[in-house]
Amino acid sequence: MPEDNKSDSTVPMHHPSWMDECASFHICGICYTLCGCVEGNSEQRQECACIWSQVRAGLRPPPTPWPGFDFPKAAELCYGCGAEVLSSGSRWSVWFCDECKEQVCALHQRHQRYLIPIGRHSMMNGVGLAGSAAQDQTAVKEFTLRVSGLSDRMDVLKCWASTIVAEHVRARGFKEGRDVPLLAYLDALIRQPVDKAEAFERLVKQFGASA
């Protein structure tokens, strides 16, 4: 992707130490997801959602698996506020920063059901099938329907995640359609913080619920 938004910043002191691995990452100017080489290693490159769309369409081969990772992904921005960098790559990775995760869990508690997916694995979202039920066709059918519904909600969440990051990028003066250095983005958010509560209210509306 073209890279016009430059950064001469260093890693701010408040960033977690593992951010050193992703210091050269960028936010794609088209899909607004993270991409870049982990610690500058071209053999361990995290691709953005644009590339994964091409992979799913059969237009390019999937990236080479990374040793020790379930998915070739080292970091993601919080799917709720788009303002925090989270470690990733595990099937159990959480998609929300601590503050947004707390809000999501409280929402589920109030509604007494899982509304917003919290991570990749179905069991993280209250969807599972006990081994003893694997031969029960009714149970299997119900599980399949629940997985399908979960997948749809994941698509809604991922769409929101890209939308909120795109809004932050535009609001902080970065050039439209150009890759944004991750560190420059985070520095801009320090100068102009995100209203996480407002972002969460808008996220909840994507799922037809109220905060």
DSSP string of 140-184, one letter each residue:
HHHHHHHHHHHHHHHHHHHHHHHHHHHHHHHHTTPPTTS-EEHHH
Whole-number pLDDT of residue 3: 43
pTM over 0.85? The answer is no
Q: What is the 3-state secondary structure (H, E, C) of 91-148?
A: CCCECCCHHHHHHHHHHHHHHCCCCCCCECCHHHHCCCCCHHHCCCHHHHHHHHHHHH
Contact between residue 180 and residue 26 where contact means Cβ atoms under 8 Å apart: yes
pLDDT tens digits, 25-54:
999 999 999 999 998 888 899 999 999 999
Q: Is the pLDDT of residue 174 over 60?
A: yes
Rg (CA), the chain: 18
Q: How far apart are the first and last CA of the chain?
A: 37
Which residues partner with 112 through β-bridges?
A: none
34 SS3 class: strand
pLDDT tens digits, 13-26:
344 545 678 889 99
Q: Where are the domains of the chain?
A: 17-206
Under the banding of pLDDT at 50, 70 and 90, the label for residue 133 is low
Whole-number pLDDT of residue 112: 75
Averaged pLDDT for residues 72-93: 93
